[in-house]
Structure 1
Amino acid sequence: MHSASDWSRALAAPELPAVILLAGDELLVLEAADATRARARALGYGERTRFDVESGFDWDDLARAGAGLSLFAARRLLDLRLPAGKPGKDGAEAIVAWCAQPPPDTVLLISSQDWSRKHEANWSQAIERAGVAVHLQAPRAQELPNWLGQRLAARGLAAEMEALDWLAARTEGNLLAGAQEIDKLVLLVDAGTRLDRETLEHLVSDSARYDAFQLIDAVLAGAAARALRILAGLRAEGEDLLPLLGLLNLQLGIAARLAGARDFDAAARAEHLWQARAAQFRRALARAPQARFWQRCLVWSGRIDRMVKGRESGEPWREFERLLVVLMQPRAAVALA
């Protein structure tokens, strides 16, 4: 299989391969798939059809999509999500058949967030013959500080090597955790800043700042027990509720716009969401897909803001907790009434 650097160079080629498999670390696959879709749009692949391979998926849908003619664009991208990297017998046969005779003006992009030698089989070999298979491996422990440094540089920040070593140790090799920490730092530090270890450790370890972001992550993930535990800790430490409301309102606004968009991926790009963050919103919207739900939550948050400022009666911390519960468990939305 090809490496990430091989694929980065291949994306600059005049044409995309007919079949593409991106497999490996979740974050790297999400970002590589996003770059591939962007390249496809630039090359005139104006129509995209997404397939999510879950239990009961009908592999005949793939064959029908290949046989059908596009009504909207001359070139098409079929975006097949295969999370576990195991298509099963029917899926393997469908992919081998596709690779034997790929339809013209069509690219099949297959992405998997799990990969090892045990996944290699006739269907992945067929992909390599018809197109390209890319293994996106997470950097090894000794490579992680440089990976974090490159990611910081891409966001307009820099850090001393001692600081990067500390951040790598803190995130314990978890790329998504490292990316999230960098995403938070971008909000806290001016562009062009060079971070030493002491400054970085203070920013990341500051419990109020750190836990506020962790709270939002838990809410988007629907992790109720974790979110309520973090919230209780923030309240016990005397955290001001208004900054938490402000941070939550930003996320509610994004969620409302994403829910109301016809094309989630295009809307996520417009919001400047990196792929792992967009995936968090996608999971949140799977629980509550209607834009109206998120708009009502924004109204509720506005009421809490007025309670904090003494302009409306009520217990703001209790209302904030109730709002978070509804966000994580939309069936509890009777509380909105």
Structure 2
Amino acid sequence: MRIFADRLMEQLSKQLHPTYLIFGNEPLLIQESRQTIQKSAFAQGFEERHRFSIDSSFDWNIVFDCCQAMSLFSARQLIELELPESGVNAAIAKELLAVSELLHNDIILVVIGSKLTKAQENAKWFKTLNNNGCWVNCLTPDIQRLPQFVQTRCRALNLKPDPEAVQLLAQWHEGNLFALTQSLEKLALIYPDGELNLIRLEESLSRHNHFTAFHWVDALLAGKANRAQRIIRQLEAEGVEVVILARTIQKELSQLLSMSQMLKAMPMGKVFDAYKVWQSKRPLYSSALNRLSVTRVSQLLQMLAKIELLAKTQYDQSSWPLLHQLSIEMCQPHVKL
């Protein structure tokens, strides 16, 4: 079965599965999921915890020995396997399948890794472990799911935000769930009645949100001008280099230009397949391709060249205003000719 991380506690209260697969890109959710499983396991008599970091030189016999320690005097065990950032290769997949055959009622296996690809989801090792367990999705909530995530966190701390407060908390802390957790804990101490509104938030919190160049690119592709400007202002305040942002969006614009040419001969789905665009990213590229003409993309690339030249040669003149202009223009709709 598959659940989001915020439903894990509810699931554990009903049943303790023999296997848990914790995968995602959000460190806070991964950390909390591990701790929640540990607490539940210990409460049900699992006295020992073994944590192993898997790499190419790892000795799997250590894990096999733990799994085979079955006697009247053996403690029930929680075994955590941290997979490498590079993912699961053929050798690791083989060993994971071997471990799955050794599991029994005195063992809970927890496998922890980064965001899964479709190929990994369909791999034999993953399906085998998931058939007997629970897949905990620890992906960072996107802008659509984040308000609901904020509300869930607030309820756990007996906080009662109004709709505007929920939206502001989500906006301030997008991309930084650790900061969101800290902010909510702070608010729970400051306001014992739990009532949260815009006035209270603005009085108590500073901006902790952290955006990356990739958040900005996604906003530009989607044509969300206000969001793109908010992100780029934050990046400028944090001292991110203009050249880094220029190079990042240059790659996307060059790809959009090539995609536009291919669209003359094939449908958009085929173009996305050719460029191996993830399903979650396809709406963003679709929006950009439908909004921007080939001429406009070429003009934006020319503007980027000016930005990069300015940033590298004119140290007494800021290139940020021109980058802000590009950000606005890329989000504006243009009739495709």
TM-score bracket for the superposition, by shorter chain length: 0.5 to 0.7
> Map of 1:71-110 to 2, 5 A cutoff?
73-82=74-83, 84=85, 86-110=87-111
Tell me which amino acid in the other structure corresponds to 1:162.
E
Tell me which amino acid in the other structure corresponds to 1:174.
N
Shift, 1:194, TM fit:
1.0
In 2: Cα distance, 1:180 partner to 1:55 partner? 37
Distance 1:84 1:72, change over 3 A: farther
Q: Secondary structure at the match of 2:136?
A: strand
Tell me which amino acid in the other structure corresponds to 1:59.
W
In 1: Cα distance, 2:129 partner to 2:135 partner? 7
Shift, 1:149, TM fit:
2.3
Task: Answer yes or no: is 1:58 the counterpart of 2:59.
Answer: yes
Is contact 1:145–1:165 with CA below 8 Å preserved after alignment? yes
Task: Quote the residue 2:171 is aligned against.
Answer: 169
Tell me which amino acid in the other structure corresponds to 2:22.
L
Is contact 1:85–1:112 with CA below 8 Å preserved after alignment? no
Tell me which amino acid in the other structure corresponds to 2:192.
A
- Unaligned residue ranges in structure 2 (runs of 5+): 209-237, 239-337
Task: Quote the residue 2:129 is aligned against.
Answer: 127
Shift, 1:45, TM fit:
0.7
Task: Quote the residue 2:3 is aligned against.
Answer: 3
In 2: Cα distance, 1:37 partner to 1:203 partner? 34
In 2: Cα distance, 1:85 partner to 1:17 partner? 27
Task: Quote the residue 2:324 is aligned against.
Answer: none
The C-alpha deviation readout for 1:230-261, integer Å capped at 9, x for no partner, is 9xxxxxxxxxxxxxxxxxxxxxxxxxxxxxxx
Q: Secondary structure at the match of 1:150?
A: helix
Which is higher, the Rg of structure 1 or of structure 2? 2
Distance 1:119 1:183, change over 3 A: farther
In 2: Cα distance, 1:123 partner to 1:43 partner? 27
> Map of 1:271-282 to 2, 5 A cutoff?
none
TM-score (norm. length: structure 2): 0.54
The correspondence for 1:143, drawn from 135, 142, 145, is: 145
Shift, 1:9, TM fit:
4.2
In 2: Cα distance, 1:65 partner to 1:118 partner? 29
Is contact 1:78–1:106 with CA below 8 Å preserved after alignment? yes
Shift, 1:203, TM fit:
1.2
Task: Quote the residue 2:23 is aligned against.
Answer: 23
Q: Secondary structure at the match of 2:110?
A: strand
Shift, 1:73, TM fit:
4.7
Shift, 1:93, TM fit:
1.1
The C-alpha deviation readout for 1:48-79, integer Å capped at 9, x for no partner, is 11112356332332122212347965311112
Distance 1:84 1:191, change over 3 A: farther
Task: Quote the residue 2:34 is aligned against.
Answer: 33
Distance 1:179 1:117, change over 3 A: farther
In 2: Cα distance, 1:85 partner to 1:194 partner? 45
Is contact 1:23–1:111 with CA below 8 Å preserved after alignment? yes
Q: Secondary structure at the match of 1:156?
A: coil
Is contact 1:59–1:90 with CA below 8 Å preserved after alignment? no
In 1: Cα distance, 2:142 partner to 2:136 partner? 18
The C-alpha deviation readout for 1:113-169, integer Å capped at 9, x for no partner, is 433424322211110233332323433312312321221231232222112211211
Q: Secondary structure at the match of 2:13?
A: coil
Tell me which amino acid in the other structure corresponds to 1:23.
F
Is contact 1:67–1:103 with CA below 8 Å preserved after alignment? no
Tell me which amino acid in the other structure corresponds to 1:63.
F
Tell me which amino acid in the other structure corresponds to 1:2.
R
Tell me which amino acid in the other structure corresponds to 1:19.
T
Task: Quote the residue 1:182 is aligned against.
Answer: 184
Q: Secondary structure at the match of 2:22?
A: strand
Q: How many residues are aligned here?
A: 208
Distance 1:203 1:139, change over 3 A: same
The C-alpha deviation readout for 1:147-194, integer Å capped at 9, x for no partner, is 21221231232222112211211122432332232233344x132231
Tell me which amino acid in the other structure corresponds to 1:109.
V
Is contact 1:29–1:113 with CA below 8 Å preserved after alignment? no
In 2: Cα distance, 1:72 partner to 1:191 partner? 49
Tell me which amino acid in the other structure corresponds to 1:22.
I
Task: Quote the residue 2:252 is aligned against.
Answer: none
The C-alpha deviation readout for 1:276-324, integer Å capped at 9, x for no partner, is xxxxxxxxxxxxxxxxxxxxxxxxxxxxxxxxxxxxxxxxxxxxxxxxx
Distance 1:71 1:54, change over 3 A: farther
Distance 1:162 1:136, change over 3 A: same
TM-score (norm. length: structure 1): 0.54
